[in-house]
Structure 1
Amino acid sequence: MSEKIDRRKQFTRMVLKEALMKLLKEKPISSVTVKELCEMANINRSTFYSHYIDAHDLLDKIGKELFDDMYATLNQYNYKKQDEVLQMSTKILEYVAERSEQCQILLSDNGDTSFKKRVIGIIQEFIMKKWMEEHQLGDDLSEYIPLLVVSGGVDTIESWLVNGKKESPQEMARLIHQFINFGLSGFRKK
């Protein structure tokens, strides 16, 4: 009996997540109502409220699940050297590409602003920390450089998603990696 309830709960949460993602393609989270979520998911309001407080709570849970999954995926790898940072960047972009629709919505203006901050934090932890250690940058700039690089990288990833992922995750990882290591001078014509 417990297994049936768990499956039912899983199904309800799945249809609510799908309904919210569809609605967020059209409008911001602030305009999404529980009533329209329930209508789209074909569930009643009391069922919705047995799982979530409101649409923001549902969005927050979607972002947290995606973030936790991304974190667990990246923790499977143990990159210690700077030259392996490109591989880690590629893994992040492959992960984002596999879940592009959700990531695009969560990073968009209609989505969850805290999700973008979490993504910036995870990239700082997994990539920039190693880069900063290897390049032994002084403390006076160490607070700003990761923020500048990672924020630009996340905006680049968001743009890549919006533009239909024309480049492969590997190509995007190389582009970002080249910029981090060589700045604009790394893009001069030869």
Structure 2
Amino acid sequence: MTKDLTESRRTRYTRAAMQDALIELLRDQALGDITVKALCERADVNRSTFYAHYSNIEELLHDIEDETMAWVTGTLDQLMKQPDPASIEHIIERVCRYIADNRNHLQVLMSPKADVGFQQQLLGLIYGRQSAVEQMQTDAATPQEAQMRMRFAVSGSIGLIQHWLATDLAATPESVAHIIFTMSMPSSR
């Protein structure tokens, strides 16, 4: 958990610089190989500034992950309130646009270079929403079938997003969202 500091513009800028520096370093190095010194040099901050915000590099990574999870949680909450399947596709498009806008961070977060627990946490967040199973898989014969379909849809969606990020977003966010939507909701075709 990040240390409590007044959220001034300068504080937000400093945290963003350190987050960006960590993501850049994670592209070439494993998390355990990154030093506070290297991070501070890349972010152009001194060590005391780093330690004013974080206790260690892992805490900084968790801050990045927490921000992403907070956004995903809010978006999922919106998704579950949508009665119209077309609105669900719109929400999926918003998620894909968010991924495109934050590709530098998410290319690392969705890869094994960072904390592999992040993807598990993301899956747990989605799987933990029973209303998602009920709403997105209404044509399933049994609750067990709905749960299996949801797990397949989420795992496939994450796999597709990983591929999309690995190809440096070769497709548009809208086309990726449409594929996720049509593959996840066979009854809405």
TM-score tier after normalising by the smaller chain length: 0.7 to 0.9
Is 2:115 aligned against 1:86?
no
TM-score of the superposition, structure 1-length normalised? 0.80
Paired with 1:135 and 1:87, the residues of 2 have a C-alpha distance of 21
C-alpha spacing 1:26/1:128, structure 2 compared with 1 (3 Å): farther
Q: Any unmatched runs of 5+ in structure 1?
A: none
Which SS does the other structure have where 1:135 is aligned? coil
Q: What's the counterpart of residue 141 of structure 1?
A: 145
C-alpha spacing 1:129/1:166, structure 2 compared with 1 (3 Å): farther
Q: What's the counterpart of residue 112 of structure 1?
A: 115
C-alpha spacing 1:174/1:91, structure 2 compared with 1 (3 Å): same
Q: What's the counterpart of residue 154 of structure 2?
A: 150
Once the two structures are aligned, what percentage of the paired residues are identical?
27
Give the length in aligned residue pairs: 181
TM-score of the superposition, structure 2-length normalised? 0.80
RMSD over aligned Cα atoms? 2.8
C-alpha spacing 1:172/1:139, structure 2 compared with 1 (3 Å): same
Deviates more, 1:138-147 or 1:51-60: 138-147
Q: How does 1:47-86 map to 2 (within 5 A)?
A: 47-73=49-75, 75=77, 78-86=81-89
Is 2:171 aligned against 1:167?
yes
1:113-170 CA-partner distances (Å, limit 9, x unpaired): 23323433455548554212x2244133344332222011111111101112121112
Q: Is the 8 A contact 1:90 1:170 kept in 2?
A: yes
Paired with 2:42 and 2:91, the residues of 1 have a C-alpha distance of 38
1:20-76 CA-partner distances (Å, limit 9, x unpaired): 011011122122121211122222222212211211110110111122133335545
Q: What's the counterpart of residue 12 of structure 1?
A: 14
What amino acid is aligned across from residue 25 of structure 1 in structure 2? R
Q: Is the 8 A contact 2:93 2:173 kept in 1?
A: yes
Return the index of the structure with the highest Cα Rg.
Answer: 1
Q: Which segments of structure 1 move beyond 6 Å, counting only runs of 4 or more?
A: none
Please state how far the C-alpha of 1:93 moved relative to its aligned partner: 1.0
Q: What's the counterpart of residue 22 of structure 1?
A: 24
What amino acid is aligned across from residue 29 of structure 1 in structure 2? L
Which SS does the other structure have where 1:144 is aligned? helix
Paired with 1:84 and 1:14, the residues of 2 have a C-alpha distance of 32
